[in-house]
Structure 1
């Protein structure tokens, strides 16, 4: 019986393709073949003794496994295999018992190979964890263990090295392969100061990295922890299969008893028992779901376990955060307005040079825009930051003030003028130089690329309700989502009100919540499935979520849901087809059309078919949402960036 599985996860041991497991299979197979040779030499008594001896070790190991399962509170269909071998030995069907022993021990090896293949992508993540790093110290290089790396250390990342910790690029440029994290096949070009995530691989020349996190707090370490948790999980569908398995056990015993009672031939009961296979119930489900987990991980969607994967397949309502989720979350400069003073590039250069001293997202966006234009940014001096208002200081000996219009006007001794007319959801950053208003930077937070196509794809997959939940103002949220066809928009939400919305929507079916900030973490935890934007999202949201998108693309959400639904469908197909064939085989055996040996061979064929079908989840090819016909989205959609809760 190839599953040979007690319901639920089994501890490492004889059934995990270890040396003892191979020894049991080898002994049973040797006994079967030797017995057949002796039987052909007309020594049937000796052949039966050899077959008997080959069954005993496998049966003893199986009984031990059953007792362990009972102590864990698990009762599975291993009992059917034990009963079939025991009944065959008692009623003299030693050849059938030997065949079952070989099939059972061989089936557990097949199970291990199937699950091993399904988990390969996750194991690849674990195996890539670097053990040491090369650090600059006192003008020399030294190899140090990862635990010795501290924020601020400068590391050398050679060609082919895996980036050991999160950091910022200390060289002019670098090419990194992020395929292990995101599924993206092409290397990514990074410029000086850009973030480089641990777990990516240097695909170009050696570069310098300035560590920003310890190894234990880096992106890749977090992914490894999530992978390990996912591998130990058990899906609700698997728990349901546990309950079904007890019913199947009762049906099997019932058919066996009736066949014996009606025919008076105990060999018919033995044939029924050996043809009964537990695999469709308790092997197909975990193999299909684990294969789905691996496939999703390959495409940058890290699901924390089989349970969340199955729940994803049943989601009916989707709630999206706005800033950093539906929108890019990184404000961009749309235009620069000059007040008749310095040129536009000079306004940007001075503002960006001063903003180097601030960690505010808007300030960092200004710096990034200046670097993208190739502007050289001097180091500012005498910097004073006024939280929530702006920054003041000196750049190249000139007094510069950057911030909100009212703040900058007050610093230069002027009354705020009439604001420029900008699209709803945009924000103005005022810049003053040497006591005079120099101009404004117009900034916005655009929708993520592919957001509209993704929402269309989700509706085709059966998502009935799609809502936006944001802390932004209602007018800004409406402007951003204009033309997206959402079923509802909830604005001005605090974290507790987001939780209340999630709980209210659960009345319509399982709810998925997608967010990226610390303020989204409670809602992610409250949802049936919480999804975090893991590349730039907060650590709290990634911890609270059930799913982490490892690539900064919202369309991977549709990919994850499609894989989840396909994996669940494949698991159900395997269960229905396998159980149907098993029941037909038991009926044929009860009516005398199958001998015990033929029943054992038939059930193994069913088991192999079920496992191979479940492994189809490894080849799921999601549709590309970007390939769908794009919806018409009005120009100028943007979200508020500064001074608004994300």
Structure 2
């Protein structure tokens, strides 16, 4: 592209402005003829530019209100108003330049994504790091990422890392990731050098998918934007009629020119597109790629919200919830987890990543496995510290009849909707790892925020079992649950809800793609990579935080509202100016200057869409984040202790009743759990009060802290001086304490920790 094509707006503005000022200087010096020549030249430049744009619109067979600007320029030259024609040319050039600058400003966040795409990667080889084109990276390659470098492809961390994910998520603070966690391409290493194993190619990685989505977004335009040209069908004849009427009644063509000068609907031509594009830019900054203005408007208009469950309302990836071992087993739960995670370091299976991450979270030191063998359907086995460790399904790991404790673990997993991984050490069943897909902590809060933003109905649509779906629906707070739905079933639900009101469908899997395409607007979660759902959707969340959806809806509605204000105020002022000009009180020169002011005001109003609006939920102050993160780390470390409460209670199901594990558990509860709860009472609750607007919002959590301490104290008194009849009461107390702790932790995660 030639340089003058890229700079044509600036060149037009500079040339017309210089000619206008030169003409004014010449006129002041008494050189009338040269002044008129300068002004006429400026008008001809504007007329030429306007003619080119009209021809381009005619070739596209699109009506255009640019015809009014052309008539105003031609009319001013025809009646000898050279100064007015020059002012109109400057007004036209200013509008074109403002539009180009405003669009460039509004698209900055989207363009920045494309500009920083990684081009090379450093492959970790025996001879040291070797730089290769990113397209040559294959699945399984070990890559080295230095400080300040961009992660080239999606991968799994081989050690801890500190990442700047702001390009994808919009979050400015660095994020700490643990060994075994997945990391996405496009994020920046904000800490020390780390290594990762590539899990995708560059073409299939997250960042490449985001760039494709950006290309789609920039290729779209909004119905509100296109309405400007449709508006020309009505506006142009009305303007010409008013100009003609003023000419006929006053017998003065100058009045007609004055009407044409102030009739140019720049607020509709410029302000509406700028407000919409600004909204797209704001959404991109929040980690949401909107595929064009039409999608943004549909997002703002949505009234029925449909959610898929897995990966949308839930985390979409397994998390270790507990390790079940036999009461008299030779290896503790911690030992079983360490051995299992040591073997799973060599596996790319999704469950392996969860197990390794859980071991690192508990501070376990893993060993390097030897003679590892992994077979599909049979699990993985290897030697760890001289022991043969085998992980997999029950049929492969525990041949023959299942022991009672394993049957109980399977029953528990069935009731909880958990996955099971069975572990044998030296061919002896040693433990069962329970993994669950937890509900996202921010999901209930987000649903409440969406209702506050105008969503009237929330529906959960999933292919999962009805009992599991109903549980998630109750916790999150939906209006209806549609379970056991295949892709066709989801499509039917969307179409049925579409008859009620405009719909927003949210999903993240391939099976969601038909429903996403059928909804008024489809929203895909693509934080872990681009999928068919992202291709079918109109809006894509590139951040693994569904609260961004509420932010995007609020941004969309604010952008549409700002566009309405800009157009209403601008066009209202233009209409008044047209009537004043038709009455003869506004000459062409003054009209051109006035219209320029109206244009600038309308564009300034439209650009307010770039200003951050009200967030959908309170946020934690930066000064409190470090404290909250430290308490959240402790909160995560306490989770295995909470699960031990249930495990110890389960062990008291039959004689002989051994209270030794109960006493050991109580020691840990008093030393670790109560200390953590007291720290939260002293430090976390004030943070919550500041975020939520008062201590009344935290009174329930404070009462729970007191109840937890009371239950632990009561349990200690019972265990210290027991009688045989107390065993049932001890077991009941343990289950009650477990329920209180689970509920309390969920409330803290939703109320505070999900905001970090």
Question: Please, what TM-score do these two structures have when normalized by structure 2?
Answer: 0.77
Match of 2:544 in 1: 552
Written as runs of structure 1 = structure 2, the 5 A alignment for 1:295-306 is 295-306=282-293
The 1-side partners of 2:167 and 2:72 are apart by 46
> Does the CA contact (< 8 Å) of 2:179 and 2:357 recur in 1?
no
Query: Which of 153, 168, 172 is the aligned partner of 1:181?
Result: 168
Contact 1:483 1:632 in 2 (8 A): no
Answer yes or no: is the 8 Å Cα contact 1:566–1:620 preserved in 2.
Answer: no
Please list the CA deviations of residues 33-80 of structure 1 after superposition, one character each: whole Å capped at 9, or x if unmatched: 222233334443443233222211221222122111110122211111
Q: In the TM superposition, what is the alpha-carbon distance from 1:409 to its structure 2 partner?
A: 4.6
Structure 2: where are the runs of 5+ without partners?
620-691, 702-738, 746-756
Partner of 2:570: 578
1:107-129 per-position Cα deviation (integer Å, ceiling 9, x unaligned): 21121111111111112212212
The aligned residue for residue 338 of structure 2 is: 349
In the alignment, which residue of structure 2 is the partner of 1:109? 97
> Which residue does 1:3 correspond to in 2?
none
SS class of match (1:216) = coil
Decide which of 495, 502, 507 is 1:510's aligned counterpart.
502
Task: Give the alignment of 1:275-354 within 5 angstroms.
Answer: 275-339=262-326, 340-341=328-329, 342-354=331-343
* 1:439 and 2:431 aligned: yes
Matched, 1:488 2:470: no
Residue aligned with 2:322, SS: strand
Aligned to 1:149: 137
Point out the more displaced range, 82-91 or 624-633: 624-633
Q: How do 1:47-62 residues align onto structure 2 when only pairs under 5 Å count?
A: 47-62=35-50
Q: 1:368 aligns with which of 343, 357, 376?
A: 357
Moved more, 68-77 or 624-633: 624-633
> In the alignment, is the contact (CA less than 8 A) between 2:63 and 2:230 conserved in 1?
no
Within a 5 Å distance, the mapping from 1:497-536 to structure 2 comes to: 497-536=489-528
Give the stretch that moved more between structures: 146-155 or 337-346: 146-155
Once the two structures are superposed, what CA deviation does each residue of 1:367-408 show, in whole Å capped at 9, x if it has no partner? 321232224144264645453xx6263443545454455665
RMSD after superposition: 2.9
Q: Is the 8 A contact 1:425 1:480 kept in 2?
A: no
Contact 1:166 1:213 in 2 (8 A): yes
Structure 2 Cα separation of the partners of residues 370 and 138 of structure 1: 28
1:121-132 aligned within 5 A: 121-132=109-120
| Partners of 1:529 and 1:545 within 8 A in 2 | yes
Question: Which position in structure 2 is the counterpart of 1:158?
Answer: 146
Q: Say if 1:226 and 1:630 are closer, same or farther in 2 by CA, change over 3 A.
A: farther
Distance in 1 (CA, whole Å) between partners of 2:146 and 2:435 is: 38
Structure 2 distance, partners of 1:368, 1:109, is 53
Q: Distance in 2 between matches of 1:194 and 1:12?
A: 47
1:271 aligns with 2:263: no
Aligned to 1:7: none
**1:626 offset after TM fit, Å?**
5.3
Report the 3-state secondary structure (helix = DSSP H, G, I; strand = E; otherwise coil) of the residue aligned with 1:283.
helix
- The alpha carbon displacement at 1:466 in A equals 0.3
Of residues 226-235 and 184-193 in structure 1, the stretch that sits farther from structure 2 once superposed is: 184-193
Aligned with 1:223 (options 201, 205, 210): 210
Separation (CA, whole Å) in 1 of partners of 2:182 and 2:361: 15
Higher relative contact order (CA 8 A, sep 6+): 1
Change in 2 beyond 3 A, CA 1:357/1:32: closer
Does the 8 Å contact 1:162/1:198 carry over to 2?
yes
Contact 2:95–2:266 (8 Å) recurs in 1? no
- Equivalent residue for 2:448? 456
Find out whether 1:425 has 2:417 as its counterpart: yes
1:366–1:30 CA distance, 2 compared to 1 (3 A) = closer
Pair member with larger Rg? 2
Task: Report the Cα distance in structure 2 between the residues aligned to 1:408 and 1:143, rounded to whole angstroms.
Answer: 42
Alignment map for 1:8-87 (pairs within 5 Å): 18-87=6-75
For the residue of structure 2 that corresponds to 1:53, the secondary structure is helix
Contact 2:134–2:202 (8 Å) recurs in 1: yes
* Partner residue, 1:642: none
For 2:348 and 2:199, locate their aligned partners in 1 and report how far apart those are by CA, in whole Å. Answer: 14
Decide whether aligned partners of structure 1 residues 277 and 12 sit closer, same or farther in structure 2, where only a CA change above 3 A counts: farther
Q: 1:517 touches 1:538 (CA, 8 Å); kept in 2?
A: no
Structure 1 residues 138 and 348: alpha-carbon distance in aligned structure 2, compared to 1, 3 A threshold: closer
Q: Deviations over 1:243-280 (max 9, x none)?
A: 12322222211211111111111111000000112222
Conserved 8 A contact 2:179-2:360: no
| 8 A contact 2:160–2:178 mirrored in 1 | yes
3-state SS of paired residue (1:84): helix
When residues 405 and 129 of structure 1 are mapped into structure 2, their CA distance, relative to the original with a 3 A threshold, is closer
Match in the other structure for 1:379? 369
SS in 2 for 1:439: strand
8 Å contact kept, 2:381–2:391: no
Secondary structure of 2:499 counterpart: helix
Q: Distance in 2 between matches of 1:587 and 1:12?
A: 43
C-alpha separation in 2, matches of 1:131 and 1:431:
43
Task: Between 156-165 and 402-411, report the one with greater CA deviation.
Answer: 402-411
Residues in 2 aligned to 1:301 and 1:438: alpha-carbon distance in whole angstroms: 45
8 A Cα contact 2:65 2:229, kept in partner:
no
* Distance in 2 separating the partners of 1:321 and 1:78: 46
Once the two structures are TM-superposed, the CA of residue 233 in structure 1 deviates from its matched residue by 1.0
Q: Secondary structure at the match of 1:620?
A: coil
> Secondary structure in 2 aligned to 1:625?
coil
SS in 2 for 1:186: coil
| 1:208-243 per-position Cα deviation (integer Å, ceiling 9, x unaligned) | 344333333322222122112212210122223321
Equivalents in 2 of 1:384, 1:124: separation in Å? 43
**Contact conserved, 1:517 with 1:537, CA < 8 A, in 2?**
no
Distance change >3 Å, CA 286–CA 57, structure 1 → 2: same
Q: Mark the CA change 1:146 to 1:630 in structure 2 (over 3 Å): closer, same or farther.
A: farther
Q: CA distance change for structure 1 residues 523 and 375 in 2, over 3 Å: closer, same or farther?
A: farther
Aligned to 1:5: none
1:479 and 2:453 are equivalent in the alignment: no
Q: Which shows bigger deviation, 410-419 or 75-84?
A: 410-419
Secondary structure of the corresponding residue to residue 233 of structure 2: helix
Trace 1:169-248 onto structure 2 (pairs within 5 A): 169-170=157-158, 172-248=159-235
Q: Take 1:526 and 1:147, find their aligned partners in 2: how far apart are those partners?
A: 34
Q: Is the 8 A contact 1:48 1:94 kept in 2?
A: yes
Relative distance call for 1:205 and 1:331 in structure 2 (3 A) is: closer
What are the Cα deviations for residues 547-602 of structure 1, in whole angstroms up to 9, with x where unaligned?
Answer: 22121111111011110110111111111111111100000000011000011011
Counterpart in 2 of 1:139? 127
* Structure 2 partner of 1:644: none
1: CA distance, partners of 2:387 / 2:587: 96
Q: Is the 8 A contact 1:323 1:329 kept in 2?
A: yes
**Is the CA contact (8 Å cut-off) linking 1:533 and 1:548 kept in structure 2?**
yes
Aligned CA distance change for structure 1 residues 46 and 279 (closer, same or farther; 3 Å): same
